[in-house]
Amino acid sequence: MSKYWLGLAVVLSLTVESSPALAHHGWAWTTGKNIELVGQIKTVRLGNPHGVLQVDVGGALWTFEVGQPWRNERAGLKESDLVEGVRVRVIGEPAADPSDKRLKVERLFLGDREYELYPERD
Amino acid sequence: MEWLLNALETTSLAQYLRTSRWGYAAVNATHILGIALLIGAILPLNLRIFGLWPRVPLSTLAIVLVPVAAFGLALASIAGAILFSIRAQEYAALGVLWVKLTLIGLGTIAALALHSSHGMKLEEASRAKLLAHAMVSTTCWIGALLCGRLIAFAGD
């Protein structure tokens, strides 16, 4: 019987892997501290459950998690603002795992204009 | 496969839900309601088989809990399929989703097998058969719930 549980645990742990485009729920996976990054948008996927941008930051490909459609809209972002080739500056929390180049955006800048996705966070 | 996933993503329902705030929340909540009914019914029934509440007749419990679990499964499956359609290609690439679907399939087959031979009169089944079933059932449904929740936290 212990083999049965061990087998199940192995199967579960092996399959918890990846899809680069899906985003994470909540903030538990971040460092809890803000950093700032600047880069050029490579791919965009907006919409529920989370919006995701792949961004070239000085040659490294980062995944920026932006808001759900209502959050982006509340911040004043339009779908046409976030498209391939656009230069973005973001402030947000990176993944606690440094090998995971992923950041959850709290504030986003296009040129000088600031878009606050999470006004209640620092 | 690719064609099917693409077709799912381009349905008007999937397109609407991809940008809708409350529509998406409603389907999400329906999925959770289905899971709550399913697990909330299955777990007490399995615990009864494991030996809890020996004074409550097993078939009496089954008459109430089996239809509730079946209804919960139907609700969760329908809402789940709709949620899947919103991001079909990305979800299909997640290993944990396929583990979840396998567990749901096994749990459903186990339930159908038990109730097709004994209906709600579970006392007819041997003790060993009931125990084995309750163990498989508990593993499948709790496992499916865990895999489902992991979808929101996995992703690279």
A43 touches chain B (CB under 8 A): no
Asked whether residue B82 is assigned to any structural domain, the reply reads: yes
Task: Give the total number of structural domains in chain A.
Answer: 1
A47 touches chain B (CB under 8 A): yes
Query: In the predicted model, what is the mean pLDDT of residues A99-121?
Result: 94
Asked whether residue A3 is assigned to any structural domain, the reply reads: no
Please indicate whether, in this complex, the C-beta atoms of A69 and B21 are within 8 angstroms of each other: yes
pLDDT at position A11 over 90? no
Asked whether residue B27 is assigned to any structural domain, the reply reads: yes
Asked whether residue A58 is assigned to any structural domain, the reply reads: yes
> CA nearest A48 in B: which residue?
B18
Asked whether residue B156 is assigned to any structural domain, the reply reads: no
3-state class (DSSP) for residue B43: helix
Alpha carbons A19 and B125: distance in angstroms, whole number: 44
Query: In the predicted model, what is the mean pLDDT of residues A68-97?
Result: 95
| pLDDT level of residue A17 (50, 70, 90 thresholds) | very low
| pLDDT level of residue A26 (50, 70, 90 thresholds) | confident
Q: Which residues of A touch B147 (CB under 8 A)?
A: 12, 15
Report the candidate in A19, A91, A110 with the shortest Cα–Cα distance to residue B156: A19
Query: In the predicted model, what is the mean pLDDT of residues B48-76?
Result: 97
Asked whether residue A9 is assigned to any structural domain, the reply reads: no
Report the candidate in A84, A89, A93 with the shortest Cα–Cα distance to residue A112: A89
Q: In this structure, what CATH number is given to the domain that contains residue A87?
A: 2.40.50.1010
Asked whether residue A101 is assigned to any structural domain, the reply reads: yes
Alpha carbons B63 and B123: distance in angstroms, whole number: 12
Q: Which of A18-22, A55-59, B76-80, B101-105 has the lowest mean pLDDT?
A: A18-22
Asked whether residue A121 is assigned to any structural domain, the reply reads: no
pLDDT at position B101 over 90? yes
Prediction ipTM score: 0.71
Give tens-digit pLDDT for A50-65. 899 999 999 999 999 9
The pLDDT assigned to A23 comes to 72
Task: Give the total number of structural domains in chain B.
Answer: 1
Asked whether residue B62 is assigned to any structural domain, the reply reads: yes
For residue B121, give its domain range: 2-151
A99 touches chain B (CB under 8 A): no
B98-135: string of b/e by CB count within 10 Å (b at 16+)?
ebbebbbebbbebbeebeeebebebeebeeeebeebbb
Token pair in block for residue B135 = 């163990």
Asked whether residue A59 is assigned to any structural domain, the reply reads: yes
Asked whether residue A90 is assigned to any structural domain, the reply reads: yes
Q: Specify the DSSP class assigned to residue A30.
A: B
3-state class (DSSP) for residue A66: strand
From the number of C-beta atoms within 10 Å of its C-beta (0-12, 13-18, 19+), residue B35 rates as: buried
> Which residue in B87, B91, B152 is closest to A25 by CB distance?
B152
For residue A46, give its domain range: 21-116
Mean pLDDT of chain A, nearest integer: 87
pLDDT at position B1 over 90? no
Asked whether residue B49 is assigned to any structural domain, the reply reads: yes
Please indicate whether, in this complex, the C-beta atoms of B152 and A63 are within 8 angstroms of each other: no
| pLDDT level of residue B20 (50, 70, 90 thresholds) | very high
Alpha carbons B127 and A55: distance in angstroms, whole number: 59
